[in-house]
Amino acid sequence: MDNTPNKRIYVLHGPAGIGKSSVAHAFTKSIDDNHLGASFFFNHGIEECRDPQRIIPTLAYQIAHHNPDAIGHIVEAVRKH
CA-to-CA separations, 79 to 13, 48, 51, in angstroms, rounded: 31, 24, 23
Please name the amino acid found at residue 45: G
Please name the amino acid found at residue 7: K
pLDDT digits (tens, 9 = 90+) for 21-76: 888 888 888 887 677 778 887 777 888 788 888 889 999 999 999 889 999 999 99
The residue extents of the domains of the chain are 37-80
Closest to 8 in 3D by CA, of 38, 33, 29, 30: 38
The Cβ of residue 74 has, within 10 Å, a number of other Cβ atoms equal to 15
> What is residue 5's predicted lDDT score, i.e. its pLDDT?
61
> What is residue 3's predicted lDDT score, i.e. its pLDDT?
63
pLDDT at 4 over 70: no
> What is residue 81's predicted lDDT score, i.e. its pLDDT?
86
Average pLDDT over residues 9-31: 84
